[in-house]
Structure 1
């Protein structure tokens, strides 16, 4: 390979990573129970219960946290963080049906602390699509406060991440995202793997990013976050989050037709609803994952693998898709050609996206690759009340409830 070609590919990869990192948002990953509801049942049922197919080839027996909040262990305490002002009324922008709102919270941390768990109590499950809790380090607090003050409504609009300056650039924004926890509509408690926790420095704030879905009507929300704080002096291993996005290129079924079944028109529509970064993210994902931004391979199943730059230990895994999701897998591909399946969700249930905490840490060495694979089903659109009234579309990666995502979420510690 010529030097010029190598340099060209490196530049393309840098562009891809930048585009994806800027536009990336998702991840509903609270602790998972051992069951799921078949996707076809969602169209006919509102009282969802779990009936998940068993996972296969998981490297270690997985533990799961119940939906109820566990009792405090010796030395632990709760910090309650209600919605500032008591409640918020979501408002969709640009003629859409989604409101992404970043809400600044102050846990008043005065000493170095570890979180051993986090709870979300959704105030209005009809509106809450998902929520992500971000860490705001002390050096970012000024920027977060300024963003909060600029908007007359509670918090600020944030279709991507909170939009705060950070230390990491490029792949660093995917390899070490400032996520603390995430939830789908049901909320609940996320307990971290034994001996690990989310480290908060004195003066740290938090941003609760709420994704509100207005397809089911309006109203107000009064969601509450509860932080489970480990006993003072606890020596826990700090947790980090690695994000594994893959493209979504889902054509309309053969029996559906309409202007948005054209891919270019669909990408333009996503741009219109969520801003110019959306189309850039669609293109960036193709570049990042070895595809073509202009002539992508369309189909229900998409995949993407990325090399791990250093040795890490995986503690928990999760996946994120929207309502057309059918299945998702995360695999560890070793340099010797062997493979370990870390996550195998064969029947996707949007309302149950909790993370699987592994019973034992899985070591990933430099040069190994992590792969996420998602399968979506476009025929579910006409079966789901939330989507049946919308026009058919070629589905790409997008922030809306009627768009889709394919995201693997890795919780890890460093060796």
Structure 2
């Protein structure tokens, strides 16, 4: 495989923060993840519920020559009237490697075609990792019809399946964290996500899906062929459109006092190391302070307060950190008499990152939401992923042993 080019354009704070993160599940509801009839759906297969006179939206993607294998789905929640379940998969196997010759992570994007001949509502997703030992997480992004040519060009520009995609797909350099283009994801503990009745994500005819896979190379090399099941409903239905709002916060975790003599315990040196491993996208660590209106201040606890520009109604919530995460909390109207905690995970478990449905909460413009994360360095003494690695100043980064602080809201807007 030839050397892959570095990303050609630096994204803004909004763009980088919008898509360098892991989502446990984007739907406010969850269930199982297998076809009711059992077995694994393959490209070319489409399962349809009792349609009650509705026309199924979309057809299955792929061909019968698909040579890869992916995880067998768990038990699925039943399809609702008019819904179909179709599987899209990577067209061939991909063996991950460090794209710049250093580091232990590879982010790769794969362009998949659900073959939508007419608009549809996406009402659920289920990611099927092909090699769970190396697949750290998967995010599904919507590709609008007007972006397809650019996506195909990126796919053709690099040898092998897909393209390097630190920071997201590279198709939305100015994507807004208030309305991210991702539509579903998988992380440890993730299951099939299913929206509440009457809600969905709009997919126009001709839309494609980008599957971004984060590979953790610490577990050793190995090929992967991952897939995803999409639950679709006819686009003619008067559903409410769901949007994903992202709440990233900085991470500024210093070395422990008795372990702070290493070269990477200096913040500037640690950020240089991030740049070497992930290219210009590693500037997220500094750009998040622009988004949050903060300045780098070393400490185990970091927060970000966001002021809403328009009204929203929150239907689901999720959080994400990596291995040094200890706790995460999301609040609305912080530091006011109306303050309310909508997500509180006092003991973080990386292997259980499912989303939480909540009773709808309406917020007006200029009200605020806040995410707070607690990270600790002593966990590196207990986790195999850090074996043999010296202490370092930990900032927001893409890698498995870097860190993130991310809240996620599933919202509707007027």
TM-score by length of 1: 0.82
1:214-229 correspondence to structure 2 within 5 Å: 214-229=217-232
Alignment match, 1:19: 13
1:82-101 correspondence to structure 2 within 5 Å: 82-85=89-92, 87-94=93-100, 95-101=102-108
- Aligned counterpart in structure 2 of residue 182 of structure 1, from 164, 170, 185: 185
1:67-216 correspondence to structure 2 within 5 Å: 68-85=75-92, 87-94=93-100, 95-165=102-172, 169=174, 173-216=176-219
Alignment match, 1:317: 317
1:165-314 correspondence to structure 2 within 5 Å: 165=172, 169=174, 173-231=176-234, 233-257=236-260, 258-278=262-282, 280-292=283-295, 296-314=296-314
Does structure 2 conserve the Cα–Cα contact (< 8 Å) formed by 1:140 and 1:165? Answer: no
Q: In the TM superposition, what is the alpha-carbon distance from 1:403 to its structure 2 partner? A: 0.4
Alignment match, 2:50: none
Secondary structure, counterpart of 2:257 in structure 1: coil
Would the alpha carbon gap of residues 91 and 414 (structure 1) be closer, same or farther in structure 2, given more than 3 Å must change?
same
Q: In the TM superposition, what is the alpha-carbon distance from 1:68 to its structure 2 partner? A: 3.3
Over aligned residue pairs, what C-alpha RMSD do you find? 2.2
Would the alpha carbon gap of residues 319 and 391 (structure 1) be closer, same or farther in structure 2, given more than 3 Å must change?
same
Choose between structure 1 and 2: higher helix proportion.
Answer: 1
Q: Which runs of 5+ in 1 are unaligned?
A: 1-15, 35-65
Secondary structure, counterpart of 1:92 in structure 2: coil
Q: In the TM superposition, what is the alpha-carbon distance from 1:193 to its structure 2 partner? A: 2.8
Does structure 2 conserve the Cα–Cα contact (< 8 Å) formed by 1:326 and 1:348? Answer: yes
Q: In the TM superposition, what is the alpha-carbon distance from 1:276 to its structure 2 partner? A: 1.9
Does structure 2 conserve the Cα–Cα contact (< 8 Å) formed by 1:74 and 1:231? Answer: no
Matches of 1:345 and 1:97, distance apart in 2: 28
Secondary structure, counterpart of 2:284 in structure 1: helix
Would the alpha carbon gap of residues 90 and 311 (structure 1) be closer, same or farther in structure 2, given more than 3 Å must change?
same
TM-score by length of 2: 0.82
Q: In the TM superposition, what is the alpha-carbon distance from 1:165 to its structure 2 partner? A: 3.8
Does structure 1 conserve the Cα–Cα contact (< 8 Å) formed by 2:302 and 2:372? Answer: yes
Q: In the TM superposition, what is the alpha-carbon distance from 1:254 to its structure 2 partner? A: 2.2
Q: Which runs of 5+ in 2 are unaligned?
A: 1-9, 31-72
Would the alpha carbon gap of residues 93 and 26 (structure 1) be closer, same or farther in structure 2, given more than 3 Å must change?
same
Aligned residues: 359
Matches of 1:78 and 1:143, distance apart in 2: 27
Q: Which has the higher contact order (CA 8 A, sep 6+)?
A: 1
Would the alpha carbon gap of residues 32 and 110 (structure 1) be closer, same or farther in structure 2, given more than 3 Å must change?
closer
